[in-house]
Amino acid sequence: MKEMFLIIIFIVASLLGYRVIKEVPSLLHTPLMSGTNAISGVTILGSLVSTAYAVSSGSKFLGFIAIVLATINLVGGFVVTDRMLKMFKS
């Protein structure tokens, strides 16, 4: 059941995402890409939980690296997108 729910979420989110993103003009495609790229750092959620519950120190270490990488992705992506978007003036 849980699995079906996740699959449905996946499909619905893909379709909604597709519709919304299709509307973004090519003018803003670079910031769109860096912005969604930042959002793909969402994997941090997984890394936080896995790392906290990991038993072996090897797993903890890998998890630690995963959080660092995901956070760079998130913070770097959002900040750089912000910098870019602020340049667009009419």
Partner 1 sequence: MIGTYEIVSIVLSILVLVGIKLMSSPKTAVQGNRIGAMAMLAAVIVVLAYNGIIDVPLLWLAIFVGGVIGYIMAMRVKMIQMPQMVALLNGLGGGASALVALVEIFERYKQMTLFGRLTGQLALAVGAVTFSGSLIAAAKLDRRISQRPIILKNHGLISNAVLLIIILLIITASVANISGIGFIAIITAFLALAYGVLFAIRVGGADMPITISLLNSFSGLAGAICGFTIEDPLLVAVGAIVGASGLILTQIMCGAMNRSLVDILSGSQLNPGINKKEATPQEKVIDVEKTPVTAKKSPAKSPAEILKTAKKVVIVPGYGMAIAQAQSQVKALYDTLESQGKEVKFAIHPVAGRMPGHMNVLLAEVDVPYDKLCEMDAINPEFSETDVAIVVGACDVINPAANTAEGTPIYGMPVLKVEEAKNVIVCNLDTKPGYSGVKNSLYELPNVHLLLGNAADTVKELVESIKQ
| Interface positions, 67-86, toward partner 1 (CB under 8 A) | 67-86
* Residue 3 engages partner 1 in binding (rule: CB under 8 A): yes
* Residue 57 engages partner 1 in binding (rule: CB under 8 A): no
* Residue 35 engages partner 1 in binding (rule: CB under 8 A): yes
Query: Rounded distance, CA 67 to CA 59, Å?
Result: 12
Q: Number of residues in contact with partner 1, rule: CB under 8 A? A: 85
Q: What amino acid is encoded at 42 in this protein?
A: V
The closest alpha carbon to 77, from 29, 14, 31, belongs to: 31
- Residue 80, number of CB atoms within 10 A of its CB: 16
- Write down the least CB distance from residue 55 to partner 1, Å: 6
Find out whether 44 and 71 touch, Cβ atoms under 8 Å: yes
| Interface positions, 5-24, toward partner 1 (CB under 8 A) | 5-7, 9-18, 20-24
